[in-house]
Structure 1
């Protein structure tokens, strides 16, 4: 692997170019539209968590239905990321973006109008697929409109969007339910996307770049699409259905999925000899891309699981309302927002050590959260955890945005959509695996401790912290290797 892009061939990243004032204003406006769309689609990963009790009462949904409402979105989201990214690379990001946002807006309305659990599940599956179409286009737009070091700031803003949308979802969900009422407030969790989506469609068509002149007109790789889709589904299904499928045979799907993904890699290498592959495996020759993707996969395994178990702990265990449960996570979101903006500006100066510092801060903040709850078991949990979660949020802001900047810095523009899609697919797999593992420990600890919610939360939070510590180890190994290479 190497750290610098090659100077020849198709794998060369574009160099910075002069941009006049009007064009500069237009590209920042295009970025703004993309960030709003990314926020909206990523928000729906977590915002529905606090609405589950209301959905249960309104639609009389079974536990399996509720699980599919939550996890079906993530499943189809991860399924279409790479093909959608490749489509945007080849046919223009504007077409893919507008189609994805239009579909997301329509399916959000359908979800809000649901009169049965089955209706809601189908709407969520389609909504997740639409989100998977949109997100690679946002990263691709940054790669296309910004060059070299100037990408740090827009990637910092995107990282802030990712971190804030995940953390603030329960708060916005709680507010909407409080405004709309316990019976119908959950519908506004979906309806709120509709006006925003309509505006995003209009502005996206006006501002995003169309198909570039001379873009390839090759046919898509149907075998690659099939192999990747089957592999991702086989890996994700037992993870998202971990609580519903009690049979141990479900875990056999994961090695089967990995085998299919290995076949996908072999096929893509063969296909690349005669055409444009769905995903260019040569991206993994860049150490920045490979290591950044690994860190993202591991970090999201611990990061997103925190909000899942914290919401359960506060609402079901301690009896707080959805609004208070959302407010309790706000310190993390605020810290993440502030640090993401800073991290995007300084990542080019500090590089991977900045990510390591962020990971260390997250680990320290989460361990401090466990200690605070243990030392003050009778104090209000939202107040006790506010300070430690603020530290963890600041650390998270120094992880997501800088790591994304470093990971995609060397990805050439013609592969930016599929490269970002593969990065986000890893994040979705990490998210599903982390929630399955941490959630499983949470429920087993709850049973073993005879309903002690604080003990269950502490044990599962320590597991999430351990997962994040693995990402810190990966970052430290890379830093040490880089220093040894520089010395020799």
Structure 2
């Protein structure tokens, strides 16, 4: 492990001990992305939360996380990555406490947004600290451990999260999934001294106006999709997306002005003018729009519809996460042999497995036995694993090395935006089917029908992903 030459390593620093603290932070952030899905029915019951509020609890975290990611990375470059790690972890811990103490759903939505903002300050420091402090084989080992940790966090979010809810530790119910972060966060803050400090010798300038414009624009775009159906599409929910497009157009102009003035923009818009990269970004948006939305539908079907407890529901879903991790580990070797064809094959498997899942739920209806879904769930996880990681590497390979850092920030932001967008769109379909169902039908039948309706978006997105990947393979490199 090496220290940034501008900041010598503190005496007595234990390199791999510092890595363990970074991995702990990465685990907690991804765990919190997944664990909330298991807790959705408990949150609805405990707080009397509406469907829109539940969607905001999920999407608010993801949107805040994505909107500040690029700025969070640059703050670390400027002020020191360990310092921003400590600030981010302290903020994440405080926000987790607020989530666990939330008196109502509105308070929890606000606390989740704060949690997402803190995560955006924290998460870039994990990747950056590993990148600048490890060399050669050590770097490959460190990033391999990070990938394994994030995969395990996804599984733990389902299984451990379900166990926490089912065990009802200290009588806290759903609050325990947030309060458990407090002792972990305090420990990570105290142990952060093991992480060598580093900062960029030539940090990029901060673009606060750009960050505000893009955050406002994305918020104005997503809020009507989540809240509009709840209020029967009032006038503001119809004109707000138009305002969002104006704000995002203003963001584009502002970014271009910064670039031509010799300042560093959040996003170099010339990147999006490269056809292959722009197409890749659309693919990232689509594939990640099917992730959190899928968890939302599954949790509501198995718990609210079929009456499973959180631990049982999480355990049934766990094989999908195992399939995802296994496929993610195998995908690089397969792509090395087969090229983009391997990703296309993964996308076709993903679409077919979603179609199979929808068909099973549609046919069985109220008689559905959740254990019967496990093979299809494994196939869904494998399909995702064969697409997601290779796709990110493919898209980042379309840009010059000099633009790799900015392109990575754009991709990371689009991941979170896609997840929030998917929750919003699928929420509209799920809620409409649930409200429009036969009132005399069994609860399980109503939720099965709503699951089919919500997942129809995921199936359409998966089929579009396959078509776009085929288009991408036929797009000349010169066009990018």
Q: What TM-score bracket applies, with the shorter chain setting the length? A: 0.7 to 0.9
Relative to structure 2, which stretch is displaced further, 121-130 or 163-172?
163-172
Please state if 1:458 is matched with 2:452.
Answer: yes
State the match for 2:9 in structure 1.
none
Q: Which residue of 1 aligns with 2:6?
A: none
Which of 451, 464, 474 pairs up with 1:470? 464
Deviation of 1:148 after TM superposition, in Å, equals: 10
Secondary structure at 1:277 match in 2: coil
For residue 68 of structure 1, report the CA deviation from its aligned partner. 4.0
Q: Does 1:45 align with 2:39?
A: no
Matched, 1:184 2:172: yes
> Which residue of the other structure, out of 388, 394, 397, is the alignment partner of 1:406?
394
Q: CA offsets per residue over residues 303-354 of structure 1, 9 Å max, x none? A: 2211111111111111111111112211210100111122245545544333
Matching residue of 2:223: 237
Q: Distance in 2 between matches of 1:261 and 1:171?
A: 39
Whether 1:327 aligns to 2:327 is no
Match of 1:358 among 346, 371, 383: 346
2:285 is matched with: 297
Structure 1 unmatched runs, 5+: 1-24
Distance 1:278 1:437, change over 3 A: closer
Give the Cα–Cα distance (whole angstroms) in 2 for the partners of residues 112 and 465 of structure 1. Answer: 35
The answer (yes or no) to whether the contact 2:52–2:226 under 8 Å persists in 1 is no
* 2:248 aligned residue (253, 256, 261): 261
Q: How many angstroms apart in 2 are the aligned matches of 1:32 and 1:350?
A: 35
**Separation in structure 1 between the aligned mates of residue 256 and residue 477 of structure 2, nearest angstrom:** 32
Q: Deviations over 1:51-98 (max 9, x none)?
A: 344445545556665554343323322332222233234444333233
Of 204, 211, 228, the match for 1:225 = 211
Alignment RMSD (CA, Å): 3.5
Separation in structure 1 between the aligned mates of residue 64 and residue 478 of structure 2, nearest angstrom: 42
Distance, in Å, in 2 between the alignment partners of 1:92 and 1:347 is 36
Q: TM-score, normalised by structure 2?
A: 0.83
Write the deviation string for residues 344-394 of structure 1: whole angstroms up to 9, x where unpaired.
Answer: 455455443332222222112111222333455566532111001101111
Please give the TM-score of this superposition, normalised by the length of structure 1: 0.81
Deviates more, 1:168-177 or 1:396-405: 168-177
- Whether the 8 Å CA contact 2:226–2:427 is kept in 1: the answer is no
- Per-residue deviation, 1:477: 0.9
**How many Å separate the matches in 2 of 1:472 and 1:146?**
37
Q: Which deviates more, 374-383 or 331-340?
A: 374-383
Question: Take 1:68 and 1:476, find their aligned partners in 2: how far apart are those partners?
Answer: 34
Query: Which range moved further: 124-133 or 221-230?
Result: 221-230
Q: Which residue of 2 is the match for residue 88 of structure 1?
A: 76
Query: C-alpha distance in 2, partners of 1:403/1:149?
Result: 24
What is the correspondence of 1:75-474 to structure 2 with a 5 Å cutoff? 75-141=63-129, 144=132, 165-166=153-154, 169-180=157-168, 184-207=172-195, 210-212=198-200, 214-216=201-203, 219-249=205-235, 250-273=237-260, 274-284=262-272, 289-377=277-365, 380-409=368-397, 418-450=406-438, 451=441, 452-474=446-468
How many residues of Structure 1 are paired with residues of Structure 2 in the alignment?
459
Quote the Cα distance in structure 1 between the aligned partners of 2:116 and 2:281. 22
The separation in 2 between residues aligned to 1:349 and 1:320, in whole angstroms, is 42
Alpha-carbon distance between aligned partners in 1 of 2:336 and 2:191, rounded to the nearest angstrom:
31
Q: Is the 8 A contact 1:305 1:431 kept in 2?
A: yes
Structure 1 residues 254, 29: CA separation in 2 closer, same or farther (over 3 Å shift)? farther
C-alpha distance in 2 between matches for 1:403 and 1:232? 24
Contact 2:83 2:197 in 1 (8 A): no
Where in structure 2 are the equivalents of 1:12-91 lying within 5 Å?
33-59=21-47, 66-91=54-79
CA distance in 2, matches of 1:160, 1:357: 24
